[in-house]
């Protein structure tokens, strides 16, 4: 069985990610970001998903305890990783990108245009409706990453690492109103399975 813990950074939808993964047959539960990376390794997970949360990552040196812990996991854990909403922004800043207050914050339904499906957005193009809830956004993508989806208001709705299996999405694939949200989790599972084989 595939094991994917969800790192709980206090977002409302974190528990829904666990539910979705369970529905796809994955062994999953919420994990506080304060769990040391060694302990995570001893659980022998196949990947990590990081949820959203109410905090801001605008100033990387003034992160809340939870986000500081989550940033440490992002840097140290060498597993396939999917980061959602605030942890997508955290992923960007942890690798040298920039997050700022969004010029136009997005709440509720947003039309997402896929720039490059790749493996993670396979079958989601050319566009789909996703639900969002964010005041900040990634304005500068870190080196080694590529933006793979955008909306009218936000230029980095999704990004992926060029060589490693690390992905960030600004929207919430875990909420039922996001079209094809489950497909994104299914794609992530395929990536995780491939990673397991190599």
Partner 1 sequence: MDSGRDRLIEAGFWLGQEGKSREVLADSRTVSREVENPTFISKIRGDYGLIWAIGERRNKLPESSLAKMGERLSVAVQGFHPSSFLSEETARLRELTQGKKVISAVSGGVDSTVATLVAREALGDNLLPIMIDTGLLRSGEPEQVKERLSRSPTSLKIRLVHAGGKFLASVKGETTAEEKRKKFRETFYQILKEEAGREGCEYIVQGTIAPDWIETQGGIKTQHNILEQVGIDPATTYGFKIIEPLADLYKDQVRSLGRHLNLPRELSERQPFPGPGLLVRCIGNVTKEKVRVLKEATKTVEAGLSPFNYEQYFAAVIENRFAKDPSPKTVSETACEALGLPKSEVHVDIFEDRITGVKGDQRCYGLLAGVKLSEESSETYGWLQDRLRQLQTKIVEIFPDITRVALLVKERRGGGPLSILVRAVSTRDFMTAAVSPVPWKILKDISKQVLKEESVSRVYYDITPKPPGTIEFE
Q: Which residues bind partner 1 (CB under 8 A)?
A: 10-13, 15-16, 19, 22-25, 52-54, 85-86, 104-109, 131, 133-136, 172, 175-177, 179-183
Specify the residue, 13 or 95, whose C-beta has the smaller distance to partner 1: 13
User: Least distance in Å: CB of 191 to partner 1?
Assistant: 18
Q: Are 176 and 19 in contact (CB under 8 A)?
A: no
User: Least distance in Å: CB of 146 to partner 1?
Assistant: 25
Query: Regarding beta strands 48-50 and 6-7, do their DSSP bridges make them parallel or antiparallel, or are they unpaired?
Result: parallel
Distance between CA 57 and CA 63 in Å, rounded? 6
Handedness of CA 112, 144, 183, 77 (dihedral sign): negative
154 in active site: no
66 in active site: no
Specify the residue, 33 or 53, whose C-beta has the smaller distance to partner 1: 53
User: Least distance in Å: CB of 167 to partner 1?
Assistant: 20
15 in active site: no
Q: Report helix, strand or coil for 9.
A: coil
Distance between CA 105 and CA 187 in Å, rounded? 28
- Active-site residues, by number, are 85, 172, 174
């Amino acid at each position: 069985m595939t094991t994917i813990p969800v790192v709980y950074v206090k977002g409302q939808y974190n528990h829904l990610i666990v539910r979705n993964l369970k529905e796809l047959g994955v062994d999953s539960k919420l994990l506080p970001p304060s769990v040391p990376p060694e302990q995570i390794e001893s659980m022998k997970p196949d990947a990590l998903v990081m949820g959203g949360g109410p905090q801001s990552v605008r100033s990387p040196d003034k992160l809340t305890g939870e986000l500081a812990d989550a940033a440490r996991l992002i840097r140290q854990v060498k597993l396939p990783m999917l980061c959602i909403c605030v942890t997508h922004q955290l992923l960007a800043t942890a690798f040298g990108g920039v997050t700022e207050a969004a010029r136009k914050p997005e709440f509720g339904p947003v039309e997402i245009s896929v720039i490059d499906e790749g493996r993670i957005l396979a079958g989601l193009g050319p566009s789909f409706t996703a639900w969002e809830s964010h005041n900040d956004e990634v304005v500068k993508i870190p080196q080694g990453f590529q933006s793979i989806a955008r909306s009218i208001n936000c230029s980095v709705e999704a990004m992926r690492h060029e060589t490693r299996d690390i992905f960030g999405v600004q929207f919430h694939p875990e909420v039922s109103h996001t079209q094809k949200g489950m497909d994104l989790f299914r794609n992530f599972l395929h990536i995780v399975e491939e990673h397991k084989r190599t």
